[in-house]
Structure 1
Amino acid sequence: MLQGIAFYLLSAVAVVSGLLVVTARNPVHSVLWLILAFFSSAGLFVLLGAEFLAMLLVVVYVGAVAVLFLFVVMMLDVDFVRLREGYATYLPLAAIVAGVLLAEMVMISIVVVQGGAASDAVAPAVATADASNVETIGRVLYTDYIYFFQAAGIVLLIAMIGAIVLTLRKKPSVRRQDPGAQTNRDRKTSVEIKGVVTGAGVTGEELR
């Protein structure tokens, strides 16, 4: 009974939060509603017994992605009034796409309810008393899907390097550190002993 109440409550919060993400006028409020939707989805994963996925959803999406969205929205001076000028123009196309996605989700839900979602030839890995969900996911991920996992890591590494290369700009007016010169410094070039008179202090010229 309590699980049923928690399921319907979290589902309702997730659906309402998802709608408010799209319909909120303030982009900061949209990101906050998105964080609430992530928390509600994590609660649903906990009810399904997938606590590892719930932890990933909170740590990765709420702790990194949503916070990044929030900082980007707050720091960038984006003219959202100008972005909404073409809202009425693209509304029919958006309605068609939303209708297609809704129809697909309804069809998939009907198939799952009828018991045809999983094939009889492929048995999904299920956590047992001897192995937790984390251990079961690790075994499947690093045995059956190791090549896909490595390929995804390479793609993310390339994307990270590309983002650094695209955003790195060397300007002559900006002072940059030289790690090699800092590491190779010795005591003679980095330390200078000054004889300071008691009560006189140190002048700016001496500090330079």
Structure 2
Amino acid sequence: MSIDINNSQLDIDNLLERLLEVRECHLPDKFVQIFEQEINLLCEKSKDVFLSQPMLLELEAPIKICGKRWYNIKLWKSFNNCFNCLPVAAIVAGKIFCCQGGLSPDLHSLEQIQQIQRPIDVPDTALMLLDGIRLNNKADKQSENRISRSLSSLFDLRRLGLLCDLLWSDPDNDLKGWSENDAGISLRFGVDIVNEVSY
């Protein structure tokens, strides 16, 4: 089937059908041709869906919660614009708190998460630079952390507080309390902090 990539309409059913068809044939060398325009349109449509949902999802259990970068920087930005609309956290079965990163000393109530307005522009420039350093293996871990701290201060990532922590804070079994994480982007937190949580 030929697809008019200049058409601004996206046939989501057709896209899903092509993806599922490959999954069902179980051939590792079988690929689906997805045009960049289709991905951009899918990101645009996804933003509307994400924005129609609450910032803090309440999900039923059991659930499977699940990349490499492809194409070009323009498409990468399209994905980021879509990600800026995603919910940032979820509560599974009324008792399991899920987020990309971790806890925050600025989080005192789950309502704070609900009040975060979307789309929210998460500063991706510094993170893309750091990701590029990692992908090119041009720095050892110590140099990578030093560069990350410099980028963090240059782009003032900590100014985002709660959101930044929900996305990038890290648990640390050997820590008590809070400490800046190695990358300097957010914080690390110990088991004692996890045990104190009662949102």
Relative to the length of structure 1, the TM-score reads 0.28
TM-score normalised to the size of structure 2?
0.28
Higher RCO (CA 8 Å, separation ≥ 6 residues): 2
Larger strand share, 1 or 2: 2
